[in-house]
Structure 1
């Protein structure tokens, strides 16, 4: 018999080389099987390309992404534009310490803001706006329309109180990591930060 994890015997084939239990080996139907919580770490500069790839892959089959894609006359051009925009946004998130990941960004990531956070420096916002002007007309129209609806919903639900709240600005899990509880773990991490800060 192998080591015991949360009362369940684990055979050596379920253990990774470093002695931890493989997440992929967990039987999904057994509710008593309890894995250790995922290792949540702040995003590092050298992990940004991995996170950008994870975010892109997480939403490939999303209905909103499909809605945008239908209006996209030049998909390669707009995909190229997304990279520097995400690079700037994630850079500022790293600077603020407001992006955390699982598996160094290859598994999942969450970006959030906290009460009192200062917005991006004006030059970064200006560059993002200028890059946004280079989107194709149909795509820009749909993205702006959805963005406006989301802002209206948030304003209607929370009003000015949103400035006093933690706000989740992005949550992504790689397709191969979905269903492992990573999103829940990241949201709980942000909620705990909100309780302690």
Structure 2
């Protein structure tokens, strides 16, 4: 969790860049009624993500999955309230962008839920976030305070490859450009996708390699940058797919 109370997220596999087929889907503002469906989309799209496994596989306290879903719903509800979340097909593909300082109520709920995580899970989250914050501070400096973080890009597996991820990214980048803001994003294994949008690597970092309770090897973080947007990306080694 970073200094603003935001938990960084990795991005799922979203396939190659393609254009949406005629009549298939349209980017629209997210609605509260889509939240339940969006939760399922996120779980399925992020299944097998190594960075998330590193943190949440250590959360052995009761109701781990319920707490994670509740946290997501609260964060998304805040993004909807601020008109900063978009979807295709009623929650089958989603994205949102957040200012550096989240809504106070959202931050309060996220902080409270984090206290129920096991000590090892909290330790791992702090380790990951500290590594990312070091990269962000080094590469972006104080400028990050005037930027947006693009978060939660997810497409349900059945609808990947239809161009939904590209359409959502373009919508957010258009919004941030209109507001005169640069943006950055933490992603999992999709650096090739972001490269199609003009991103290039500017820095790297690593976590998890020296943790004796983690057997999947280090999680490598790659920082990339584009002329009008900034992106923090994670290139993770292959992991066995398992439900988070």
Asked if these proteins are the same fold (TM beyond 0.5), I'd say yes
The structure that has the greater radius of gyration is 1
User: Residue 92 of structure 1 corresponds to which residue in structure 2?
Assistant: 78
Q: Identify the match of residue 48 of structure 2 among 13, 36, 61.
A: 61
The structure whose RCO (Cα within 8 Å, separation 6+) is larger is 2
Deviation, structure 1 residue 99: 0.5
Instruction: Please state which structure has a larger fraction of its residues in helix.
Output: 1
Contact 1:38–1:185 (CA under 8 A) maintained in structure 2: no
CA apart distance, 1:118: 5.4
Q: 8 Å contact 1:58–1:173 — kept in the other structure?
A: yes
| Secondary structure at 1:105 match in 2 | coil
- What SS does the aligned partner of 2:102 have? coil
Rounded Cα–Cα distance in structure 1 between residues aligned with 2:147 and 2:55: 29
Asked if the contact 1:78/1:136 (under 8 Å) is kept, the reply is no
Pairing 1:107-126 to 2, within 5 Å after superposition? 108-114=93-99, 119-121=102-104, 123-126=105-108
For the aligned residues, what is the CA RMSD? Answer: 2.3
8 Å Cα contact 1:99-1:112 kept in structure 2? yes
Aligned length: 161
What are the ranges of 5 or more consecutive residues in structure 1 without an aligned counterpart?
Answer: 1-30
**TM-score, L = length of structure 1:** 0.72
* Residue equivalent to 1:167: 149
Matches within 5 A, 1:29-178: 35-36=21-22, 38-74=25-61, 77-106=63-92, 108-114=93-99, 119-121=102-104, 123-178=105-160
Q: What TM-score comes out, normalization by structure 2 length?
A: 0.59
**Which residues of structure 2 form unaligned runs of 5+?**
1-17, 180-244
**Separation in 1, partners of 2:101, 2:35:** 22
**Runs of 4+ in structure 1 displaced over 6 angstroms?**
none
